[in-house]
Chain A
Amino acid sequence: MSIEVRQVHKQFGNFTALNNINLDIKAGELVALLGPSGCGKTTLLRIIAGLETPDTGSILFNGDDVSRRDVRKRNVGFVFQHYALFRHMTVFDNVAFGLRMKSRRERPSEAVIAEKVQELLRMVQLDWLSDRYPEQLSGGQRQRIALARALAVEPQILLLDEPFGALDAKVRKELRRWLANLHEDINLTSVFVTHDQEEAMEVADRIVVMNKGVIEQIGTPAEVYENPASDFVYHFLGDSNRLKVADQDIQFRPHEVLLSQVAVADHQPGIVRDIRPLGAITRVTLKVEGQDEPIEAEVPRDDVNLQGLTRGATLFFKPKAS
């Protein structure tokens, strides 16, 4: 099921949340809406779901205009940041809910429902929890149940609102990979909202970078990282350094740098302010004369230029050609 967003505009009083947004999402794609708080990504997601209505513009699913369609009829699966599990129902009843709410004609028998629920719980690897209540589950487990619940009614589109935002860093990483794998299996058109660029890069087929109600760039993770369309995209997608050489302004990533302990052509000198081992890489902070901002260089921990390096020493660096 493809999604088209046409000229969607949304204001809250004087605040423009979405400024004439146009977006095409192909069937089966996993798209990330990436941006800082307040950029409009959650508003756009909720408009696609039908939880909010745009002031102008339309939403099309597979070419059908659904802008007027009630949220119940859009057949959209939605996963909330804080799970929104029904606290007084067991895991089983939570997942079965959508199936039980169907009208008489469409509702499957309880036996069929039970089978479907068990299948979904197996898929999220939590079938052993079906009798528990949400309060007895960990955050990561709750989110997987929320996902199972959303998938139970066989939606054509899956929408996730900062699904891992409320979880610990480690659990976040695990679930991220798990979601990417799941998507490969079920191949459902999915849109998820995040402010974490690492997450978007790891999971999404394409990334939509948003800022202040506008789309800055749409592209694959490689595209937006290597060929950022604007300063904003460049800065948002990773750490960056800025170097003024002659009248040139060079921007480069911390790891896009060559080091040398002796003076070499084209290399700039800098005084070492800090040497910080960070596991697989080591970060060296350099103060360059005539620059306000320090330069941060990240190199593998066994880089030859780190040997015997101390604070106050002079180190030479050159941004790799970009």
Chain B
Amino acid sequence: MSRRSSPVIPGFGLTLGYTLVYLSLLVFLPLAGMFIYAAQLSWSEFYAIVSAPRVLAALKLSFGTAFIAALLNGVIGTLFAWVLVRYRFPGRKVIDAMIDLPFALPTAVAGIALTALYAPNGFVGRFAADLGITIAYTPFGITLALTFVTLPFVVRTIQPVLADIPRELEEAATCLGARPLQVFWNILLPALLPAWLTGFALAFARGVGEYGSVIFIAGNMPGKTEILPLLIMVKLDQYDYLGATAIGVMMLVVSFVLLLLINLLQRYVAKG
């Protein structure tokens, strides 16, 4: 790595070295270790593990619910960001502060709380049952739990961008005759889109790997309501290290590819 910095600010070598060593020991090497461990499997063995029906079901469930939850948060998050940035109303500061609650709250606490709420005899679950809808122990419940946990991501990525859009842009559009909805659609949304996509990607990535807040409400029935992280746990409990590793590797690779796609989409949007 070549250096173009001022010779005045010291500590480059020391801090870079420490950073690299620390990260390698704690993060890179263990992650690499996982891939190396998986390399014990031949391609066909690997494929056999990850294409088992139970694994595929978990894959579809984890990625599917995470996607929908992220989408839901895309809407809810935009609503919150809009209202918090542009309006003044009683309780605004409270809501603003509490948006980060899912971020600060231990996932296990969220898990049991949401289950208590949405179980058939729970506060909300009761009303849903009257309407014939079961929430807990279904993919619906999983999606709701993921929506809670990933709530802050879209809000917090959009908020600063929304706040920074210069007022003059909207004023210019209005002077030229645009109605509020047109201003929103043509001026504001395009400006927010890259940030929205970032928030979406973060929520999605978090949702796929989420464990604590979901396993209580999920029901965990193999093939139906078993999420991918749980399946890894199950394999580990059975001492099937190879199986667990194969699934873990697949999960990482699929997530990585999806995030890369979202990243490319975001860059495309940001340019145009």
Contact = CB atoms under 8 A, between A and B. Distances in A.
Interface of A: 12, 50-53, 71
Given A50-B7, A71-B7, A71-B8, 8 more contacts: A12-B4, A50-B8, A51-B6, A51-B7, A51-B8, A52-B6, A52-B7, A53-B7
B6 to A, nearest CB: 6
Interface string B1-19: 0001011100000000000
B60 to A, nearest CB: 50
Contacts, number: 11
11 contacts: A12-B4, A50-B7, A50-B8, A51-B6, A51-B7, A51-B8, A52-B6, A52-B7, A53-B7, A71-B7, A71-B8
A155 B72 CA distance: 63
A149 B7 CA distance: 22
Interface in B32-87: none
A53 B4 CA distance: 11
A51 B7 CA distance: 7
Contacts of A51: 6-8
Interface in B111-170: none
Nearest to A72: B8
Q: 10 tightest CB-CB pairs across the interface, nearest first?
A: A71-B8, A51-B8, A51-B6, A53-B7, A52-B6, A50-B8, A71-B7, A52-B7, A12-B4, A50-B7
A12 B5 CA distance: 11
Contacts of B6: 51-52
A148 to B, nearest CB: 22
Contacts of B8: 50-51, 71
Contacts of A50: 7-8
A227 to B, nearest CB: 38
A134 to B, nearest CB: 21
A41 to B, nearest CB: 17
A52 B4 CA distance: 10
A51 B8 CA distance: 6
Nearest to A53: B7
A53 B8 CA distance: 10
Contacts of B7: 50-53, 71
Contacts of B4: 12
B1 to A, nearest CB: 16
B5 to A, nearest CB: 10
A104 to B, nearest CB: 21
A285 B8 CA distance: 52
B13 to A, nearest CB: 16
A74 to B, nearest CB: 11
B201 to A, nearest CB: 34
B12 to A, nearest CB: 14
B10 to A, nearest CB: 10
A90 to B, nearest CB: 25
Contacts of A71: 7-8
Nearest to B7: A53
A17 to B, nearest CB: 12
Contacts of A12: 4
Contacts of A53: 7
Nearest to B5: A52
A12 B8 CA distance: 18
A52 B9 CA distance: 11
Nearest to A46: B6
A17 B26 CA distance: 43
Nearest to A71: B8
A152 to B, nearest CB: 19
Nearest to A13: B4
B20 to A, nearest CB: 25
B254 to A, nearest CB: 40
B21 to A, nearest CB: 27
A287 B7 CA distance: 55
A11 to B, nearest CB: 11
A51 B5 CA distance: 10
A100 B4 CA distance: 31
B2 to A, nearest CB: 11
B82 to A, nearest CB: 32
A71 B7 CA distance: 9
B7 to A, nearest CB: 6
Interface in B167-210: none
A53 B7 CA distance: 8
A60 B4 CA distance: 24
A51 B6 CA distance: 6
A71 B9 CA distance: 10
Interface in B204-233: none
A128 to B, nearest CB: 33
